[in-house]
Amino acid sequence: MATLDTHHWYSLDAHRPWEDVASMILGVVVLAAPVIMGAPESVVVNVSTGAVGVFIVMLGALEFISLRRWEEWLEMLCGAWLVIAPFALGYAGATRTLHMIVGALVFLLAAIELWQDANRRLDR
């Protein structure tokens, strides 16, 4: 695994495998949102957020294989889109709240991972 390190799992000075797993779990939550919320949104909303959820899961899994800074930047973009999407696509309610919370968490987690990797020699 590319993300294994000898520090404690809770230390924030190096990239940890649990962070990648957390990203993938958040992506699955986005994918499952229409089922969890019980109120399906429009097709555009479901396709947009579903694609972002798949992308988050794939980026989290890719980080297990090869750690790259661009993966974190793309995760930050996905998180930002989840926060912006309710306003851009015009949906509200519990789905909007869930997407905004999950988007903020994805963005924050990716920013932390990017910060942790700042001093490591990684391919861009």
> What pLDDT score does 79 carry?
96
CB atoms within 10 A of CB 81: 19
d(CA 102, CA 82): 7
d(CA 10, CA 8): 5
User: No. of H helices and E strands in the chain?
Assistant: 4, 0
Q: Rg for the chain (alpha carbons), in Å?
A: 15
Whole-model pTM? 0.82
**Could you list the pLDDT tens digit for every one of the 124 residues in the chain?**
454 445 555 555 666 778 889 999 999 999 998 888 776 668 888 889 899 999 999 998 988 787 777 888 999 999 999 999 999 998 888 889 999 999 999 999 999 888 887 766 555 4
